Structure 1
């Protein structure tokens, strides 16, 4: 693998591409990309220059790189889910925190546990959980005995995220309609904005009605 290939891998990770998509763009096997990233810091710590230098050093020593087992299917699927969340717009560290909470036995972690498990700074965890709490994906509980916060993801978390998303959409509707009225509802701009607001309002109403109807599936 060339240094240019490794730079393209790093660019793909930064852009939130899946391993499969990076492999497709490089004309490589997905397993090759998975091993390359895993042996050189993982998705959060991959650095193309360091990865290339490590390969050169191994070649000079004449020592083959230690064999790496193929990524187990369940790990590959978990990675694909993580990449899908990133592509959907979730910040990568927030996606990793959300993913780790989803896979925890009781859906609970402290900030210290998250930082240790994900090998990220406490500050990064703080930013990530703030995003997740605001979006409704996670809620915060206080542990009075240990005097620290515990972050929890439960069966109702997805419903709350839909409610919060609807609230944000309705705020967008309100602002858009106000701007439309400023331009004048009979003007081309005002008419366009009014139609946009009406569309978003109806979509948000359908969304919350559907969420209420199927909430029992999360119980």
Structure 2
């Protein structure tokens, strides 16, 4: 593997291969250099825009002629050395990557997470992470699509700054909660199709129970107080009647407008936690039956109770 400083030809090839979209690892392999050498070279000499071989070579020559003594790691605002902060970013990013977030995106996210209130520009991220502008741009696009990062104009007006809003965790939490609730609802439909006593039904019951509990614990009820109260009244009506009921029968018996009955039944169907451990099952056009939640009893428990 070559040693010593990069030559002008090396830098020319780096510029060409970056324009072709090659990554640092591949460029390093072609030049016979460590990936870290390529990333440092681009971070030092291409952070403010496109990497240009002539400019990079000239800048490297200026640095070499200055021959300043080695400096200690540049401290951050809180007094910690840069290498310690960078180590934390990489470690935290690895944990986020284990949850499914792309590793480069996770590094950008943690870097913004630990920045001050003003956020960071793309050039700041390139310098701090020692990666290419293209990598930062792709990661920012990913984070913006997830609504985890906000974009603000820089005070100078020429660049944009990226930052994490205070309510980012609430948005992420709500997004996950909605997905968990949809999975739980789909599992309930599957149990009704395959039957609670089947192998598929048992698997769906286990999955539905897990995601249902997760969704219920992560989100409070979004029902208006009046609708929630009506839902409990409808639930009591089913218990008292002990038989399937239609929406028309409920409206007549409770002396409520049809839309009020419809809203209460919809609440019981869309928010299982309201009726837990019971649930409404549709058995015909606008006809419902009150049952025990399929995920509350295992198939073995059901068989034992039916003896």
Give me the TM-score of the superposition, normalised by structure 2.
Answer: 0.39
Counterpart CA distance in 2 for 1:179 and 1:161 is: 27
Greater length-normalized contact order (CA 8 Å, ≥ 6 residues apart): 1
Aligned-partner SS, 1:50: coil
**Which residues of 2 match residues 8-19 of structure 1 at below 5 A?**
none
- Against the structure 1 CA distance between its residues 192 and 125, is the aligned structure 2 distance closer, same or farther, given a 3 Å change threshold? same
Do residues 50 (structure 1) and 33 (structure 2) align?
A: yes
Counterpart CA distance in 2 for 1:149 and 1:175 is: 42
Bigger Rg over Cα: 2
**Which residues of 2 match residues 58-73 of structure 1 at below 5 A?**
72-73=83-84
- Tell me the equivalent position of 2:105: 94
Moved over 6 A (4+): 67-71
Do residues 103 (structure 1) and 114 (structure 2) align?
A: yes
Do residues 206 (structure 1) and 217 (structure 2) align?
A: yes
Do residues 169 (structure 1) and 180 (structure 2) align?
A: yes
Q: Is the 8 A contact 1:136 1:164 kept in 2?
A: no
- Tell me the equivalent position of 1:62: none
- Against the structure 1 CA distance between its residues 45 and 83, is the aligned structure 2 distance closer, same or farther, given a 3 Å change threshold? farther
Q: Name the structure with the higher helix share.
A: 1
**Which residues of 2 match residues 15-30 of structure 1 at below 5 A?**
none
Give me the TM-score of the superposition, normalised by structure 1.
Answer: 0.52
Summarize deviations over 1:6-28 as a string: whole Å, max 9, x none: xxxxxxxxxxxxxxxxxxxxxxx
- Against the structure 1 CA distance between its residues 200 and 182, is the aligned structure 2 distance closer, same or farther, given a 3 Å change threshold? same
Equivalent residue for 2:193, pick from 182, 186, 202: 182
Summarize deviations over 1:39-80 as a string: whole Å, max 9, x none: xxxxx945676339x9xxxxxxxxxxxx99898544433332
Query: CA-atom RMSD, angstroms?
Result: 4.0
- Tell me the equivalent position of 1:16: none
For residue 126 of structure 1, report the CA deviation from its aligned partner: 4.0
Summarize deviations over 1:157-195 as a string: whole Å, max 9, x none: 222211111112222223333333332333221232033
Counterpart CA distance in 2 for 1:173 and 1:105 is: 39
Gaps of 5+ in 2: 2-22, 38-69, 74-80, 221-307
User: Which moved further from structure 2: 173-182 or 134-143?
Assistant: 134-143
Q: Report how many residues are paired.
A: 154
Equivalent residue for 2:202, pick from 155, 167, 191: 191
- Against the structure 1 CA distance between its residues 131 and 183, is the aligned structure 2 distance closer, same or farther, given a 3 Å change threshold? farther
- Against the structure 1 CA distance between its residues 68 and 168, is the aligned structure 2 distance closer, same or farther, given a 3 Å change threshold? farther
Q: Is the 8 A contact 1:135 1:164 kept in 2?
A: no
Counterpart CA distance in 1 for 2:96 and 2:137 is: 19
Gaps of 5+ in 1: 4-43, 55-66, 210-219
